[in-house]
Chain A
């Protein structure tokens, strides 16, 4: 192997690293700011008329006491980021984990009456995993039916 080969390889290594670094820089810095998976209520409000009629993802927390169950699987609730909140109407069956205070990402369009019409309701799970104080107290049958009424011991 000639030293010429070695120089070529090292140059390739430096070139590839520089290219990968530049790529990362643009994705994280430049394009990254325009990559948005969901908008929070405040951001939707800031977008103003742009949000009207468009399909967007709205993310936030389900406001306490805002879940109203209607006929069949009809349901409405409020998505909040603590500052602003928006009403959401939903006709699909919510995921099992859906409950007050949990994070949700909803694919919505703004209906005429200012209510967000949900096409897809997703529940986001936090990074917390809690064991119950008394494992025997967790009734798995009940948990499969609903998550209402089961409290995290660490949070109370």
Chain B
């Protein structure tokens, strides 16, 4: 399937899932409407961790195969993963204030997630300072493999340690009326991200082949034409 088709299907499903979850699904018995953020928070969490796991796999593949294509894919999935995990902490915070009573607390789940965001954002920043593609790919891959140790920690933090954040829900703990809009959104974000990262990986590859320089800004082009 073409990446653009994935983006369109994902976007459509996400819109449908949000309408379903926000307007048609019933309110929760204790939380009322506050619970509705989970229709976006849970898909964000799943896909964020999935994207960063994908970045880890790309890092291992680059080191094993030496094909820079894997580095392009790594950059694309890591960028998307960082955006999703940053959004995740913001959404969680918005839900936490009315539910827990605080915006933030250094509970194991929240702490490991904060580390996740900063570690991977740091790797993206590090990349911009390395101009030679092979050296950049090598350094990024090693840093990614080390940072990826935090991904299972985020997922299992609520089971390893006492935490304020609840453990994972399952269809047994979530009413049937809530399960499907959640699944639709999870699949929607997955398709959307799959499409977006394939497009982005291609762009990254072209930038690399063009000498790692971003395309000139419109104003610079005007100046060059003078």
A and B assemble together: yes
Chain A contact residues, CB within 8 Å of chain B: 1, 5-6, 9-10, 12-13, 15-17, 19-21, 23-24, 27-28, 32, 35-38, 40, 59, 94-98, 105, 120-132, 135, 138, 140, 143-144, 147, 150-154
Which residues of B are found within 8 Å of A129, using beta-carbon distances?
Answer: 28, 31, 35, 38, 169, 173-175, 178
Cβ contacts B153-182/A at 8 Å (1 or 0 each): 100100011111111111001111110000
Q: Once bound together, how far apart are the Cα atoms of A37 and B30, in whole Å?
A: 26
Q: Are B177 and A127 in contact (CB under 8 A)?
A: no
Q: Are A16 and B173 in contact (CB under 8 A)?
A: no
Which residues of A are found within 8 Å of B107, using beta-carbon distances?
Answer: 37, 105
Of A32, A125, A147, most buried by chain B (CB within 10 Å of CB) is A125
Closest A residue by C-beta to B32: A143
Which residues of B are found within 8 Å of A1, using beta-carbon distances?
Answer: 66
14 contacts between A and B (CB under 8 A): A16-B141, A17-B60, A27-B153, A28-B160, A35-B108, A97-B31, A120-B102, A122-B102, A124-B166, A129-B31, A131-B25, A132-B29, A140-B27, A140-B33
Shortest C-beta distance, A133 to chain B (Å), equals 9
Shortest C-beta distance, B68 to chain A (Å), equals 11
B204 at the A interface (CB under 8 A): no
Which residues of A are found within 8 Å of B99, using beta-carbon distances?
Answer: 95-97, 123, 125
Q: Once bound together, how far apart are the Cα atoms of A151 and B38, in whole Å?
A: 21
Extra A-B contacts (13), CB below 8 Å, given A9-B62, A135-B27, A138-B27: A15-B142, A16-B145, A20-B146, A21-B149, A24-B152, A24-B153, A120-B101, A122-B164, A123-B99, A125-B31, A129-B28, A129-B169, A153-B29
